[in-house]
Structure 1
Amino acid sequence: MDSVLITGANRSIGLETAKQLSEKGFLVYLGSRDLAKGEEVVKDLNQKGFQNIKAIQIDVTNDESVLEAKNIVEKEQGKLDILINNAGILGDVPQDSSTTSVANIQNVFDTNFFGVIRVTQAFIELLKKSDNPRISNITSGLGSLTLHSDPTWKYYAFKAVSYVSSKTALNAFTITLAHELKDLGFKVNAIDPGYTATDFNHHSGPASVESAASFIIKHTLDEKGPTGKFYSPDIENESEESPW
């Protein structure tokens, strides 16, 4: 059974992604910063018929926590097939570029950017042992510099410096990582699940967690798809590739 680790998976899009991948036959490590909350979620899922989901404690901002999670997966599976870097935060708002504190920006970057790097580097050797390794970095359309430079873009006015900058940086990391691993059979992509109704945005988004998770899975499991791309459901073309 192929295995997948999803960070920040005890609620919202991460949780729904875990459920859908479980239904597809994957062993899912449901990453949660608070293990008790993760175990409570898994208990509920078990009662609903999901049996191949396991809670695992992982705080992406903490080296020791990430290493402990890596050691658990290595001991139990010996490898990891898919890593979905889903954990993310918005940070305090408003986030005007001229007034937002450096501490605010650093806090958001620690989860959204450095957290992804920390987890990826810890698990990379386990991923290299997979026949079809996948890394999906869950980003946002707000990370696109091209779209943010277009006054006609529907989200043009949303310029929250901490969040937007962290996702742009994440996209850059995705490009460099994909290039580094391109000859090793990896598929490494940035995936925007779209503006989804979650606790993250006070349920203001028009999309459902079900459609968001389905989009993530579609571009994670696509065996014929390329590596080093940025996908978004808001892009109306056949490839669903977003400009960087």
Structure 2
Amino acid sequence: MARVAVVTGGNRGIGLEICRQLASKGVTVVLTARDEKKGADAVKTLGAHGLSNVVFHQLEVGDLSSAARLADFIREQYGKLDILVNNAGVVGATTEIRDPESFRKELANMDSMEKLDWIRKHTTETYSKAEECMRTNYHGTKIVTEVLLPLLQFSSHGRVVYISSYFGLLRFFNGKQLKEQLNNIDNLSEERLDELSELFLKDLKNGQLEPHGWPTEGPAYKVSKALTNAYSRIIAKKHPTLCVNCVHPGYVSTDINFHTGDLTVEEGARGALILAMVPKGGMTGAYLDVTEVASFV
């Protein structure tokens, strides 16, 4: 029976490219997206390129009932799940860019860090956006993983891939205690991660990020990715028969950065594909920086 994969946020960018590459390797792909029309259109696009082994299923990442409907669909259609790629995510901020074309010209001669710094200076971060970021990137990803774990355990070789970010590394945290806590997987629990998520939002609301050791620039995105990284390591430890890993795809040219990235989506999908196809008994609890194993710190 063909391998079955779920890719969240699969209707565009890196997610769509991961769907394309998995399908081209003979994997049956369930492409998920929040927007039904965009998801169905993405499947049609792949079908027009000869990939008939991609199907669409609607998924609202932060909604337990939506994730449960997806699980029911996979159980009924395939009876198992071999690969889960958690790709869906938001940046947790509003960027004040009205004309992307002139914006791209302005940034043309900058390096990656200069571009990101320029974008940050033209970005507004509100509490409501931070809440949405935590709800989607951390809690939503966690919901999808937990609901699909039983189906991954029906596979003879289940793999879970988290599309992470360089900005989720613990070096961006200011507090030594927080860093140590998030890196001490033997003593870290899912309950504690949930508590830290709530503490972060409380400290953001009260203007206490710096004194309590949180990142202060782009904090919601960084914290959401760091918590997800830690969660992936807990899941890897708890389920040793699965291969559970994270990957930073690099600075990829996608809608999220107004196509200012240095890598193509094909290049950005490489690490995710390595982890999605990792052999049985292969690495788990690891983090790839593009395609190289690196530290979570």
- TM-score bin (small chain): 0.7 to 0.9
Task: Tell me, yes or no, if the aligned pair for 1:139 and 1:171 is still in contact at 8 Å.
Answer: yes
Task: Give the CA deviation at 1:113.
Answer: 0.4
Counterparts of 1:14 and 1:104 in 2: how far apart (Å)?
A: 22
Q: For the pair shown, which has the larger CA radius of gyration, 1 or 2? A: 2
Say if 2:225 is the partner of 1:172. no
Contact 1:20 1:214 in 2 (8 A): no
- How many Å separate the matches in 1 of 2:169 and 2:56? 33
> Would the aligned equivalents of 1:142 and 1:148 in 2 still touch at CA under 8 Å?
no
Query: Contact conserved, 2:93 with 2:130, CA < 8 A, in 1?
Result: no
Normalised to the residue count of structure 1, the TM-score between the two structures is 0.88
2:145 counterpart letter in structure 1: T
1:51-200 matches, within 5 Å, as 51-93=52-94, 100-146=125-171, 159-182=217-240, 185-200=241-256
Equivalent-residue separation in structure 2 for 1:44 and 1:168 (angstroms): 34
Q: Secondary structure at the match of 2:269?
A: helix
- Contact 2:23–2:51 (CA<8 Å) still a contact in 1? yes
Deviation string 1:90-147 (CA, Å, 9 cap, x unpaired) is: 0224789xx9543222110111000111001111110100000001111101101136
- The percent identity for this pair of structures is 32
Aligned equivalents of 2:75 and 2:270: distance in 1? 27
Q: Which amino acid aligns with 2:296?
A: P
2:282 to 219, 225, 234: 225
CA distance in 2 between counterparts of 1:100 and 1:42 reads 33
Ranges in structure 2 where 5+ consecutive residues have no aligned partner: 96-119, 175-214
Structure 1: segments with no counterpart, 5+ residues: 150-156
- 2:86 is the counterpart of 1:33: no
Equivalent residues of 1:219, 1:225 under 8 A apart: no
Task: Give me the CA root mean square deviation.
Answer: 2.1
Distance in structure 2 (CA, Å) of the matches to 1:100 and 1:34: 24
> Is 1:210 matched up with 2:266?
yes
Q: Distance in 2 between matches of 1:225 and 1:194?
A: 23
Instruction: Indicate if the aligned counterparts of 1:195 and 1:205 stay in contact, CA closer than 8 A.
Output: yes
1:133-182 alpha-carbon deviations (Å, 9 max, x no partner): 00111110110113667xxxxxxx99311111111111111111111011
Distance 2:293 2:70 in 1: 33
- Structure 1 match to 2:192: none
Cα gap change, 1:58/1:103 in structure 2, threshold over 3 Å: closer, same or farther?
A: same
In 1, distance between residues paired with 2:243 and 2:234?
A: 12
Secondary structure in structure 1 of the residue aligned to 2:23: helix
Q: Secondary structure at the match of 2:160?
A: strand
Paired with 2:238 and 2:230, the residues of 1 have a C-alpha distance of: 13
Residues 1:49 and 2:50 are matched in the alignment? yes
Could you state the TM-score of these two structures normalised by the residue count of structure 2? 0.73
Partner of 1:154: none
Say if 1:42 and 1:55, in contact at 8 Å, map to a contact too.
yes
Secondary structure at 2:228 match in 1: helix
Other-structure match for 2:209: none
Q: How far apart, CA to CA, are the structure 1 residues paired with 2:85 and 2:146? A: 13
Q: 1:19 and 1:43 mapped to 2: Cα distance?
A: 12
Check whether the contact 2:6–2:30 (CA below 8 A) recurs between aligned residues. Answer: yes
Shifted more, 203-212 versus 36-45: the winner is 36-45
